[in-house]
Chain A
Amino acid sequence: NAGVTQTPKFQVLKTGQSMTLQCAQDMNHNSMYWYRQDPGMGLRLIYYSASEGTTDKGEVPNGYNVSRLNKREFSLRLESAAPSQTSVYFCASSEMLGSGGTNSYEQYFGPGTRLTVT
């Protein structure tokens, strides 16, 4: 199993350009997530999809859109890139989102996309 894959690995954009980050998982997981990681900020959740057909905003959704294309794929789109969106983007998946109880549902992460907006 490849686990969680992301493309591209690196990308440089000019301000105002658009792009889509692709993510796919082959573990038959229901839930998928997009995070951004910035120095000193840890990981911040951008959007997530609890199950196929649903998406919800996370902590920092402004400037991004997502599409849960099917159970395997979850894409992140930047419509008009800004320098503030320079970051490393991680996609993750888990069996379920989990809600209360003692469910574990660890998350599995992709290798990341390093995005620079100039």
Chain B
Amino acid sequence: SQQGEEDPQALSIQEGENATMNCSYKTSINNLQWYRQNSGRGLVHLILIRSNEREKHSGRLRVTLDTSKKSSSLLITASRAADTASYFCATRNNQGGKLIFGQGTELSVKP
């Protein structure tokens, strides 16, 4: 069964607005990663946050992790039309190295 659940499933915003996507998971994790997938393409790694970290930034991306609530959020600030894509969270547990992917959030940024 899938470990990560993203919320919302779809999000539509205007260019310049912020986009927030959430991910919840079920078991203890080692780290949580966010990936982006443009239509018809493979996934691209965006950012990783380890279980002992609470917040991480990379450019316009901000990721938070709350291990007590087993949840993470990805914030994209000042969104652009080029940010239109599906975003997936993926978790790695403490026992093995395999990543478990969520179902994704489809983000549409309108110019």
Binding site for B on A (CB under 8 A): 4, 31, 33, 35, 40-45, 48, 50, 58, 90, 92, 96-112
Most chain A CB neighbours (cut-off 10 Å) among B4, B40, B42, B100:
B42
For B, the interface residue count at a CB cutoff of 8 angstroms equals 28
Binding site for A on B (CB under 8 A): 2, 4, 30-31, 33, 40-45, 48, 50-52, 88, 92, 94-104
Please tell me if the beta carbons of A96 and B43 are within 8 angstroms of each other in the complex: no
Chain B residue at minimum C-beta to C-beta distance from A99: B97
Please tell me if the beta carbons of A100 and B42 are within 8 angstroms of each other in the complex: no
Chain B residue at minimum C-beta to C-beta distance from A109: B42
Please tell me if the beta carbons of A102 and B31 are within 8 angstroms of each other in the complex: yes
Shortest CB distance A12–B (Å): 17
Q: Across the interface, which residues of A come within 8 angstroms of B99, CB to CB?
A: 45, 107
**Could you jot down 20 A-B contacts, CB within 8 Å?**
A35-B101, A40-B103, A42-B102, A42-B103, A43-B88, A44-B101, A48-B98, A92-B43, A97-B96, A99-B95, A100-B94, A102-B30, A102-B51, A103-B97, A104-B50, A107-B45, A108-B45, A109-B42, A111-B42, A112-B42
